[in-house]
Amino acid sequence: MKSAESSHQKCDKSKSASLKIINSRKMASRLWTLFLFLASANHVYSAPYTTHLNRSCPYHNSCSPGVNQQHIERLLSYVDNEKQPCDDFYAYACGKWREKHGSDATATTMSEAQINENYAELFAELRHNSSYFEFPMFRKLATHFQDCLALDKPHLSRYLELLDHKLPESLKTTHWSELLAVLGQYGYHGHFVLLEVRWHNATHHMLFLLPHNHHLSLNLTPDIYDALSRHGLSDGAWPPYEQLREQFRLLEQNLTSLERSKIPDDSFTNRSLEEIQAEVPGVEWGRILRKQLNRTVGGNQAFQVDDLAAIKRLVEYLNQADNLLLNRYSLARFLSHLVSLPHNPLAEWSPGSKSLSLRCIRHMRRSLYLPMNYVYEHRFYAHRRRADELVIHRVFEQLQGQLELNLDNNPLNLSQELVSSLKAKVHFMRINVGNLPPNVSEQFYWEVDRRWIVGHDFYENHLNSLLFYYSVVSDLEGTKNQTERAIWYSFNMHQPEFPDNIDATPYFYCLGDIIFVPYSYVRLPFFHADFWPALLYGDLANTLGHEMMHALDTDLVDYDAWGHMSNFSDQLVLVPRYTDAVRCLNDSAVMLNERAADVSGSRLALHTYGGDWMDNPDDGRLYFLQFAHFFCGDEGDIYHDTGSQRLNYALSQVPKFAEVFGCQSGTGMNSAEQCPFW
C-alpha cells in the first residue's frame, strides 16, 4: 500500500529546474544589453516567421500588434541562423541566449527577478504613500520589511529571548516532549518524534506522526553555541563548545542505533489518539497536542502514523536519557532550523551586504506567502486578471476537453473503470491563476491581517510569521466549517519551506488535483493576453498541457481526483501497451515523469490547437520557437534533464515539428522512435 502523501516535494510537479535568481544589478545590465540589441536590430524583424502570420485574437476582440511584434523580435534575437533546426533545435532557437544572458539565467529566473523588483518598488512606494494602508496587509508588510532592513548583525539569542515566556522554567525538569510541542507551534518538527499537520487530500489536512529522520544531524556552529550559552535559560553553566558538540554527537549516535523497524516505504496507517496513547504510553500525547495545536483533541482524533514501533523505541530511549541534554539539543536544532529557512538574511551574513533588501523580500515571499501575494495582486496584477483569466481558463478547458476525449478513445486499451477514474481526475482538475483564493471578499484578508502580529524587530516578526502560518494550518485541520474549507483549499498557502523553483512556473499539485499558475508566469516572455495564436499556444498550451499530463505521469497517476492514493499504477503495469510505451520513453538515464509530461503535454497542445493554421510555415515555426524559449539556458537539476535534452527530445516525438521545419527523416530531430504514450 502506498500512502496518501509521501512528501510534498513529490506531489508538486513544476516545469522548471532549480532557480538561481540573478541579483538585480546584473539583471539591469543584462536587460540593458537586450534593449540595445533590439534598437539596432530592426532588420531581423523582416526575416521569415512574420510575413504571413495569423494575427487573430482567439479570445478577445483585438490584440495589440506592438506586444506581439516586440516579442517576436526578442525570440528571433536568440536564434542562431548558422545552426540547422533539423539537427539540433535547441542550438538553433537558443543559440544566442548565453551571449546575451550569461550562463546562469533562464526566462524563468529573469521573470522571478522582475517580481522581486516589483516588490522592492512597492516597498519604496509605501514609505511615501500611506493610502495603501486603507487595505489589509500593506501596513504590516511595510513594517516587517523595514525591520528586516534594519538588521545589523546576527543575534540568534534574540530568538530565544522571545521564546522565553513560552519556554519552561527549567530545561532539566521539563519533559523533552513538552519543549518539542512549543517548538512545534513554529512549525519545527525536525528530530526525535515528528508530529505535524500536513495537507492530506483535496479537502483536508491531517495530523501525521512519524519517527525522525536520523540521517539528519545538527551542525552546531559557534554562532548557535554562542546564542545558547549566552541565554539565561540554564540549569548550571553550558559546557564548553567542544564538549557540547561531543555530547550531541553521542546522542545522535544513540538515536541512529535505534533503527527503524522496517525499510521506510512511506506507508502511513490510520490510528486514533487513544490507540497511540495505548501503544506508546511514555508521552502524554493529549497534553502535548494541546500545547502544539492550541486546542483540545479528543481520543478519537485520527492520525496518519508511520512505524509506531520505532516511535515507541525512541520514546523509551528518550525517557531515560539525560533530559537537560535533550532539551539543549532541541533548542540548538531549532535555531539551526530557523537560520536555514529559505533566504533567512541571518544565514551567510556579510556586513554591509547590498543584497539585504533582496534577501528580505525573498524571505518574506516564503514566510508570509499569503500577505505577499495579496499585495502583489492588489498593486500589480488585479487590473490584468480579467483579461488573463479569460484566456487561460479557456485554454485550460479546451485542453481538458481534448484530454478527456483522448482517454475515451482508449488507445492503450485500459479497463473502462480505469478510464473513468482517470477521466474524473482530468474533469475535476482545477486551475488557479496567481494562487490566491479566487472568490473572497476584502473581509477575508482583514481577518488574516488580524491573526498575524508584527512586532519590533526581525526576530520577533519572523517567529510571529511562523506562528501565524502554523496556527492557520492547525485550525484548518480541526475546522468543521465547510465555507472555510472551500476557501482554504482553493489555493495553496505555501509553507515557509516551499521551494522557490516550484513557485516560479505553473505546477500540478496532486493532493488538490489543481494547477497553480504563479505571477511570474503570467507575464512576458511566457504569456500575454494579447498574444497571437502561435505565441499564445506555443507556450501556454504546452505548459498547461505539461502540468495537466503530470496528473497521469508515472509518479502521480496514482492519486485520484480527490487526492487519495489509489492503485492505478498497479493496474497500468498489467497493460502491455502501457508498459511498452513507458519502456520506449525510458531509454536512458532520464527523468521519466518529466519526459512523459513534456512529450504528452506537447502532443496534447498540438491535438487541441494544431489545426490548419499551423501549416502556414510562419505560424508553425513561431509556435515552436516560442515553445523553445522556456528551455533556453536551463541546465537541469535532480528532477529535470537539461533544457537542450528536454526540448529536443519532446520535439522529436511530435511529427508536426519535422513537418513544419521540413526535417528529412534521419536528421537529429526526426530520427527518434515514436513512443505511443498518452
Closer residue to Zn ion (CB): 335 or 597: 597
Q: Does 284 bind ligand NAG (CB under 6 A)?
A: no
Given Zn ion, ligand NAG, none, residue 321, with its beta carbon under 5 to 8 Å by kind, binds ligand NAG
Q: Does 151 bind Zn ion (CB under 5 A)?
A: no
Given Zn ion, ligand NAG, none, residue 597, with its beta carbon under 5 to 8 Å by kind, binds Zn ion
- Residue 433 host element (H or E): strand 430-433
Considering only 143-151, 158-166, 167-175, 203-211, which stretch makes contact with ligand NAG by CB under 6 A?
203-211
- Compute the least distance from the CB of residue 43 to ligand NAG, in Å: 27
Q: Which residue has the cell 530568538?
A: 159
Of 124, 250, 278, 405, the residue at the interface with ligand NAG (CB under 6 A) is 250
Residue 130, C-alpha cell as written in the block: 500611506
Q: Does 410 bind ligand NAG (CB under 6 A)?
A: no
Q: Does 181 bind Zn ion (CB under 5 A)?
A: no
User: Residue 323 and residue 321: Cα distance in Å, rounded?
Assistant: 6
Given Zn ion, ligand NAG, none, residue 570, with its beta carbon under 5 to 8 Å by kind, binds ligand NAG
User: Residue 578 and residue 600: Cα distance in Å, rounded?
Assistant: 13
256 by Cβ neighbours in 10 Å (0-12 / 13-18 / 19+) ranks as exposed
User: Residue 503 and residue 525: Cα distance in Å, rounded?
Assistant: 17
Using CB under 6 A as the binding rule, the residues of this chain from 423 to 442 that contact ligand NAG are 438-439
Query: ω into residue 525 within 30 of 0, thus cis?
Result: yes
Q: Does 639 bind ligand NAG (CB under 6 A)?
A: no
Q: Which of 207, 189, 187 is nearest to 197 (CA)?
A: 207
| Total number of residues that touch ligand NAG (CB under 6 A) | 42
Q: Does 672 bind ligand NAG (CB under 6 A)?
A: no
First to last CA, the chain: 25
Strands, E assignment, 233-350: 269-272, 302-305
Using CB under 6 A as the binding rule, the residues of this chain from 371 to 390 that contact ligand NAG are none
Q: Does 220 bind Zn ion (CB under 5 A)?
A: no
Q: Does 471 bind ligand NAG (CB under 6 A)?
A: yes
Closer residue to ligand NAG (CB): 262 or 393: 393
Q: Does 217 bind ligand NAG (CB under 6 A)?
A: no
Residue 33, C-alpha cell as written in the block: 544589453
Considering only 37-45, 156-164, 247-255, 620-628, which stretch makes contact with ligand NAG by CB under 6 A?
247-255
Of 355, 481, 671, 674, the residue at the interface with ligand NAG (CB under 6 A) is 481
Task: Spell out, one character per residue from 595 to 614, where the chain touches Zn ion: x when CB under 5 A holds, - when not.
Answer: --x-----------------
Of 242, 570, 580, 673, the residue at the interface with ligand NAG (CB under 6 A) is 570
Cβ(450)–Cβ(434) below 8 Å: no
Cα-based distances in Å from 27 to 15, 18, 35, 76: 23, 18, 12, 21
Closer residue to ligand NAG (CB): 348 or 570: 570
Helices (H) and strands (E) in the chain, counts: 30, 8
Considering only 209-217, 235-243, 249-257, 638-646, which stretch makes contact with ligand NAG by CB under 6 A?
249-257
Closer residue to ligand NAG (CB): 354 or 577: 577
What backbone torsions phi and psi does residue 27 show, to the nearest 5 degrees?
A: -60, -50
Of 483, 638, 665, 666, the residue at the interface with ligand NAG (CB under 6 A) is 483
Closer residue to Zn ion (CB): 421 or 593: 593
Q: Which residues face 270 on adjacent strands? A: 304
Of 61, 103, 131, 409, the residue at the interface with ligand NAG (CB under 6 A) is 131
Considering only 155-163, 198-206, 306-314, 364-372, which stretch makes contact with ligand NAG by CB under 6 A?
198-206
Q: Which residues, 6+ apart, have CB-to-CB distance to 619 below 8 Å?
A: 52, 53, 54, 533, 534, 613
Q: Does 472 bind ligand NAG (CB under 6 A)?
A: no
Query: Other CB atoms closer than 10 Å to residue 514's CB: what's the count?
Result: 22
Q: Which residue has the cell 485554454?
A: 395
Q: Does 571 bind ligand NAG (CB under 6 A)?
A: yes
- Compute the least distance from the CB of residue 336 to ligand NAG, in Å: 18
Q: Which residues, 6+ apart, have CB-to-CB distance to 606 below 8 Å?
A: 654, 656
Q: Does 2 bind ligand NAG (CB under 6 A)?
A: no
461 by Cβ neighbours in 10 Å (0-12 / 13-18 / 19+) ranks as buried
Of 120, 347, 356, 582, the residue at the interface with ligand NAG (CB under 6 A) is 582
User: Residue 5 and residue 199: Cα distance in Å, rounded?
Assistant: 8
DSSP letters of 528-544?
A: -TT--HHHHIIIIIHHH
Sheet holding 193-199, edge to edge: 193-199, 205-211, 302-305, 269-272
What backbone torsions phi and psi does residue 576 show, to the nearest 5 degrees?
A: -55, -40
Of 38, 149, 321, 347, the residue at the interface with ligand NAG (CB under 6 A) is 321
Binding residues vs ligand NAG (CB under 6 A)? 54, 56, 58, 129, 131-132, 200-204, 206, 247, 250-251, 254, 270, 272, 294, 300, 302, 321, 413, 415, 438-439, 467, 471, 481, 483-484, 533, 554, 562, 564, 567, 570-571, 582, 586, 592, 613
Binding residues vs Zn ion (CB under 5 A)? 13, 15, 594, 597
